[in-house]
């Protein structure tokens, strides 16, 4: 039920953190994996990790804000690995500024990366998946899709929009046997969250998290495999929180 052998998965921003954790989980379940991410050195490291599994993997340099590069990158994946069955829209950025201080340029960059690129890539993937009457699209949201934040307003807005996009795509693509769902990771160790280490805010996070710890990227892998597999064929438009209970406390 959770076997992904024969599937081709694309993971944007899959060369580190949550993205790499998910990519490794998909590969372990048998999927061929294509990483699309900007940093070529990190891509090479991720590819080394992926090749520990008995499956094919590639890594292509891509900045998801370069709209004109998205279609060619997707076509390159399909040319090298075959038709894409799973798209994980993981690439994302955050700008630590409230609404009164964030620049318009920074706002645009966050929305472009976290929301518009997801829309474009999902449309490209859906056009391919519709031909085969099957597919899985997994969007990586955030706790801030549920909560407001005075510190990362642009990020919260982008992730809230991403959940609504997920629901809308789920409805539109369901007749084609394509399921679209989101994962909302909690506080997971990554380059983005590293600055909270050894701060009073870290102590607040741990106190609020029933699991009593920060998550690891691998903690997101199982949920992603579930949403990528036939086990979730009747799950559509959902946002699954992977947060050790943070959101319910």
- Annotated catalytic sites, by residue? 155
Angle formed at CA 140 by CA 135 and CA 145, multiple of 5 degrees: 130
Determine contact, residues 7/85, Cβ cutoff 8 Å: yes
What is the DSSP-derived secondary structure letter of residue 35?
Answer: E
As a whole number of angstroms, the distance between CA 27 and CA 4 comes to 8
Residue 90 to residues 95, 125, 210, 213, 244, Cα–Cα distance (Å): 16, 14, 25, 23, 20
Determine contact, residues 37/14, Cβ cutoff 8 Å: yes
Phi/psi at 124 (5° precision): -60, -45
Backbone region of residue 75 per phi and psi (left: phi > 0; alpha: psi in -120 to 50; beta: other values): alpha
List residues bridging with 180 in a β-sheet. Answer: 137
Residue 83 to residues 8, 23, 111, Cα–Cα distance (Å): 7, 17, 28
């Amino acid at each position: 039920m959770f076997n992904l052998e024969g599937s081709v998965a694309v993971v944007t921003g899959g060369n580190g953190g949550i993205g790499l954790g998910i990519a490794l989980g998909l590969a372990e379940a048998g999927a061929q994996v294509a990483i699309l991410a900007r940093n070529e050195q990190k891509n090479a490291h991720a590819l080394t990790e992926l090749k520990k599994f008995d499956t094919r993997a590639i890594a292509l340099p891509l900045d998801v804000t370069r709209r004109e590069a998205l279609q060619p990158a997707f076509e390159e994946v399909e040319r090298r690995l075959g038709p894409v069955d799973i798209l994980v829209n993981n690439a994302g950025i955050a700008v630590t500024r409230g609404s009164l201080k964030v620049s318009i340029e920074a706002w645009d960059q966050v929305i472009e990366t976290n929301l518009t690129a997801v829309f474009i890539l999902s449309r490209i993937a859906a056009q391919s998946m519709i031909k085969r009457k099957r597919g899985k699209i997994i969007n990586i949201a955030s706790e801030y899709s549920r909560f407001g934040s005075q510190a990362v307003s642009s990020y919260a807005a982008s992730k809230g929009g991403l959940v609504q996009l997920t629901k809308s795509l789920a409805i539109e693509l369901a007749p084609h046997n394509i399921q679209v769902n989101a994962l909302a990771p909690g506080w997971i160790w990554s380059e983005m969250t590293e600055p909270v280490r050894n701060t009073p805010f870290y102590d607040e996070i741990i106190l609020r998290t029933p699991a009593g710890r920060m998550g690891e990227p691998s903690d997101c892998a199982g949920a992603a495999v579930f949403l990528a597999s036939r086990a979730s064929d009747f799950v559509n438009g959902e946002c699954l929180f992977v947060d050790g209970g943070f959101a319910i406390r």
